[in-house]
Amino acid sequence: MAEVGKKVKKITLRGLARVAAKTAIGLGLFGVIFLAVGFILATPPRYDGFAVSPVLLGADGEPLYVGISADQELAIPLSLDRMGEIFPRIAVAVEDKRFFSHPGVDPLALARAAFQNIKNRRVISGASTITVQLVRLSQPRPRNLWSKMVEFFQALRLERELGKDEILTVYLNRAPFGGNVRGVGAAAAIYFGKSPADLTLGESAVLVALLRGPSIYRPDRWPGRAKVRRDMVLSILRGKGAISEGDERRARLEPVTGKRFSPPRKAPHLAAYLLDPAESPRWRWGAEGYAGVPTSVDPALQENLEKRLLVALGPFPGEVNGAGILVSNRTGRVLAYVGGVRREGPTFHVDNARSRRSPGSTLKPFVYLAAFADGKLGPSSLLADSPLGLGGDAPRNFDGEYRGPVAAGVALSESLNVPAVRVLRLIGEERALEVLREAGFTVPEGRAFGDSLVLGGMETSMLELAGAYATLARGGEAVRPGFDPGGHYLGPRIFSGEAVWLINESLLSPRLLGPGLSGESLAIKSGTSISLRDAWLAAYDPAHTLVLWLGDPSGRSHKGLTGLASLSAAGVQFMHDLGPRPLWPDPPDGLERFRACPVSGEPASPFCPGSRWAWRIKSLAKSHPCRLHLRRNGQTVTAWPPELSRLTRGPGHFPVRPGPGPQVVSPKPGAQVVMDGQNPHLQLKSEGAVGLVHWYLDDRFVGTADKRATITIEPGPGPHKVSLMDSLNMTARSEFTVVEKDSPKVADKDTPLPIID
């Protein structure tokens, strides 16, 4: 009986073993089938398509302006390489150290989590990989066991569709970082005012800490908590060998200040111009162009232009705003765009760079350009700055005075109104409008402007002015400014290179800028609209074109709002900030120099009161000599035209230059002046000047004297420059060097040096 019992027991144990084995195999097969079916049936989540912020990018690829996404969040989309080296590396080390080796689910992490949770009889550890976290962010579910199983299956499928770098990129762009901050690009900007690529190790550790508790560890609200969690992250990194002991020590010393920065908001008017509304399908991850609109705007130049404009606005009330555009003449790209520098008030939203305003005198160069190109005038040609012969109410100059006989080039550089009207009438309004259209201005169809065309009667925009003046800077080749960093906005030649060169030469007038502003090699044209509503300045050289504006967007006038006085300092100083200016090109082959009468500007005759060098276009040159100075009854007479004849009689006649122009005779150009320390004075003398002479030393005004008088200065040792301007606005200069009497430079007795007294 006992033996039978043993047999039964033995048979039963074998049966149980077989049953257990079959059960295990069955469960294993079921598990495999379950996993296979789950993997096959699991639909990977739509990981893309989430809302991102509309972003305007600068020429350096960094955000200039960031808006709010359709989900009312700040989310600056970045590629992995623009996140820098530190943050992605330590994020992986802390969040998912086997990220680059597991298939989406980490079996080792699962086993560890299961053991720790069973041992402690509560959940103390998870096993979510970065891929699983991305699945959870893309398709939120209730937190339960079934949801975890689905997320694991979807993670496996997602890894089959995407590469590791893409998964990491999407995750770091979608992860929440507290409040409405989404993604590392926005987090770095808001909490540290930086790009992720510029974060330190300590700052990167703060953001990694936020991945585990976006609300708990926000450094702007809970800097103490953020610091504790950051130090824990640093300890984890040190324990995993991801950073050195020295790195950890230095990172722990970095303060957590609790600051919150504003998102990038440079060039807001350009952003409004170029960016679609946040609700546009474009601003979804993965859509075409979702990473931002690239522009050619240089952030440093943008910031500097805003600073210069704010200084220029200093004397004016808050309603007056300023705008400016800088264009690269080499490509036609816009390098800086300020639609309104003051960011408060009811008119801040107005983009003054595109608004149509009265341009004042800024269209005058293009009217003169037509006259030069057609051979009707040259820079030396005589024009009458007088009201006679115009009929009706003749326009006055800004200072309310008339200057009488004046050369066309001088009339242009000084922006005289009556001569400009005479030039407009000479070429005709249709010809003037034709040139303005070719220059890129929008000309209303079927509208007659009359004389007001050159006085600010035809409205235009700063963007159009910038393109037109850049066309002058390029010698007549068309420029239509644009914002694409890879674009070239240059067109064919539209104007005579010879005529444009003459215009540029006429506008090279540093003497107009006043003391302390060195404008050599810089072409300047200002403009002021009627009743002081708009102040303009165009400044350009072969490399860059700058257009500035001050005014009240509501159209009200303001005392002192004039182009040259209000903007010359800002314009010249900004152009100086760009670095050394390139040289202007030599005169085109189609130009020639000739000896001109200093009054009429025509080829000098034996009866003219001297002569001076002037430029003219060869193919349009007239051979007849000066018709202003004639010989009658054995005497030389001046046959003034009717518009000048009555104004040039009697004691109030206009001055006429008797010779070739003023010269500085002390100190002579190139002289080396030996100064005695006990008598450091130097006399400034001139010849050939007319009327009062204004003297400048190193671009600093030192005094005014009669043409026969002298000015005393005390220059120190070293190189210097003196310049003068007389009553006919003619200039002269002299560069010299001052050395002390006992200086080694004058010790060579074999080389006598001039001593100027």
The answer to whether 275 touches 313, Cβ cutoff 8 Å, is: no
The phi and psi torsions of 673 (rounded to 5 degrees) equal -100, 125
* Burial class of residue 33, CB neighbours in 10 A (0-12, 13-18, 19+): exposed
The phi and psi torsions of 442 (rounded to 5 degrees) equal -85, 115
361 given a catalytic annotation? yes
Helix axes 299-312, 563-577, angle to 10 degrees: 150
Of 53, 62, 69, 95, which residue is the catalytic one? 95
Closest CA to 45 of 117, 108, 134, 122: 134
Helix axes 86-95, 130-138, angle to 10 degrees: 90
Q: Residue 376 is which amino acid?
A: K
Closest CA to 368 of 400, 327, 404, 416: 416
CA angle 642, 644, 650 (to 5 degrees): 115
Neighbours of 390 (CB within 10 A): 16
**DSSP annotation of 334:** E
CA angle 94, 96, 98 (to 5 degrees): 120
The phi and psi torsions of 109 (rounded to 5 degrees) equal -65, -35
CA dihedral 9, 15, 17, 18 (to 10 degrees): 160
95 given a catalytic annotation? yes
Sign of the alpha-carbon torsion through 219, 223, 227, 228: negative
Of 204, 355, 361, 413, which residue is the catalytic one? 361
The answer to whether 335 touches 543, Cβ cutoff 8 Å, is: no
In the block, residue with structure tokens 């059960």: 23
Sign of the alpha-carbon torsion through 342, 347, 353, 357: negative
The answer to whether 716 touches 727, Cβ cutoff 8 Å, is: no
Report the DSSP beta bridge partners of residue 740.
675
Q: Name, in order, each residue with C-beta under 8 angstroms of 564's C-beta and a sequence gap of 6 or more.
A: 512, 513, 526, 528, 537
Q: Hey, what are 201's tokens?
A: 């190790």
Closest CA to 76 of 153, 190, 239, 220: 190
Radius of gyration of the chain (CA): 39
- Distance (Å, rounded) from C-alpha 674 to C-alpha 747? 11
**DSSP annotation of 588:** P
Q: Are strands 629-632 and 321-328 parallel, antiparallel or unpaired?
A: unpaired
CA angle 170, 173, 178 (to 5 degrees): 140
3-state secondary structure 138-158: HCCCCCCHHHHHHHHHHHHHH
Q: Give the active site residues.
A: 95, 361
